[in-house]
Amino acid sequence: MTGNIHFNDSVKANFGGSDSAWELEIYANSSNDAYIDKTATSVGDLIIQNQANDSDIIFKSDDGSGGITPYLTLDGGLGYTVASESIRLADGKVFYVGDDNDLGILHYSNNNYIQNNIGDLIIQNLADDKDIVFKSDDGSGGATPYLTLDGSSTGLTVSAPQGMVFFDNIKAKFGNNDDLQIYHDGSNSYIKDAGTGNLEIRSNFLKVKSPTAEDMIWAQENAGVTLFHNNVSKLATTSIGVIVSGSIEAVGGSIFVYDGNEFRAGDAGDLRIGHDATNSYLKNNTGDLYINQAAVTKSIIFKVSNANALDTTAITIDSSGNTTFAGDVLVGSGTIDNPQGWGRVLQLSLIHI
């Protein structure tokens, strides 16, 4: 048979089956539509196949500009399907992957979804030194990276305009056993060492500041540590001890200076108080040594220990300048007794040594 076979509109070429129950019909209608129709009365599948080695089944259509272009190719040489133009799914219609619709991609009610129905959802980039970048609106009509999994530095880059936000009681956790936790509970903020080892802050110059940038603590490598009060330095460590700017108050406790060390006052350590493990001493290295009693009508009292600690008053200097000796006054190798019954009040002006 040679030549064309012409079928008028709505005249069908029928295949298989019987009259009014054909398996396949091919025809065109008066609206210029053409059909390959596996009829409703038929059974079985409609199979389009190409048995030529490494050849394709190609679906072509108008390209929108008066030409013809492939839209979908079942590539027999490559072994997969090639979509040469975009594929659009209507709202609410799902693109499924997997034997049991395991992964679905869809758009519904103004939102887009990537939905995993089994196992883990793994997003991976196998290109050498390339990244996985998560972008979103930048608040000004553009798009900006918010999170980058950097394949070249093997790090995680957070570049969100507002940083990372952790709501109340949501913790940033570090370590295999949540060893370090950082969070805010709605009232207070916490850096919590909840696991193994120490909490170490390492810096060559650590500064702790208030929210308004007032200094609170400075700690400098190979140098000192400085404590501040109201942005003013009050205590600083040095190579030989500490420097205090202001007063020292011991509330509910004592200030200890251990054996062999001294409490020193004056720019050159002019006044020294110390204990050498055996004896205690008060030493003045320049000028006069003043012992002042500024409480009105009160005395200066020197006590010693006889049977018990500090049980004996040895010398009393009262507010009038009188000095009372509780015992004998030794002068040189002798003594001055109290034979006259002076009531142990010694008039120093009468003694000549």
Q: Is residue 78 part of a domain?
A: no
Q: Is residue 313 part of a domain?
A: yes
Q: Is residue 319 part of a domain?
A: yes
List alpha helices for 86-130, DSSP H. Answer: none
- Total domains in the chain come to 2
DSSP of 7-31: --TT--EEEEEETTEEEEEEEE-TT
Q: Is residue 341 part of a domain?
A: yes
Beta bridge partners of 174: 180
Q: Is residue 219 part of a domain?
A: no
CA-to-CA separations, 147 to 47, 123, 174, in angstroms, rounded: 47, 14, 19
Neighbours of 88 (CB within 10 A): 7
Neighbours of 108 (CB within 10 A): 11
* Among candidate residues 150, 183, 198, the one where a domain is terminated: 198
* Ordered mean pLDDT values, 10 residues apiece, the chain (353 residues): 90 90 93 93 92 96 94 96 95 95 95 95 95 91 91 88 89 93 96 92 96 96 96 95 89 91 90 95 95 95 90 93 87 57 46 42
CA-to-CA separations, 152 to 122, 128, 139, 255, in angstroms, rounded: 20, 8, 29, 57
Q: How far apart are CA 190 and CA 183, in angstroms?
A: 5
Q: Is 152 left (phi over 0), alpha (psi -120 to 50) or beta?
A: alpha
Q: Is residue 335 part of a domain?
A: yes
Q: Is residue 100 part of a domain?
A: no
Q: How far apart are CA 109 and CA 93, in angstroms?
A: 11
**CB neighbours of 87 closer than 8 A, spacing ≥ 6?**
none
Across the beta sheet with 189-193, what order do the strands follow? 172-174, 180-184, 189-193
Neighbours of 58 (CB within 10 A): 14
pLDDT at 95: 95
- Asked whether the beta carbons of 351 and 330 are under 8 A apart, the reply is no
Q: How far apart are CA 32 and CA 46, in angstroms?
A: 23
Q: How far apart are CA 142 and CA 159, in angstroms?
A: 15
pLDDT at 100: 95
pLDDT at 343: 47
Q: How far apart are CA 74 and CA 88, in angstroms?
A: 18
- Asked whether the beta carbons of 39 and 25 are under 8 A apart, the reply is yes
Q: How far apart are CA 131 and CA 183, in angstroms?
A: 29
Burial zone of 237 (CB within 10 Å; 0-12 exposed, 13-18 middle, 19+ buried): middle
Q: Is 126 left (phi over 0), alpha (psi -120 to 50) or beta?
A: alpha
> Residues for the chain: how many in total?
353
Segment holding 37, helix H or strand E: strand 34-38
* Among candidate residues 150, 181, 198, the one where a domain is terminated: 198
Copy the structure tokens of residue 212: 């308004």
pLDDT at 333: 58
Q: Is residue 229 part of a domain?
A: no
Beta bridge partners of 317: 300, 323
pLDDT at 345: 46
Q: pTM of the prediction? A: 0.63
| Domain enclosing residue 306, as ranges | 300-350
Copy the structure tokens of residue 253: 């406790």
Beta strands in 251-344 (DSSP E): 262-265, 271-275, 280-284, 300-304, 312-317, 323-325, 329-331, 334-336
* Among candidate residues 183, 198, 213, the one where a domain is terminated: 198
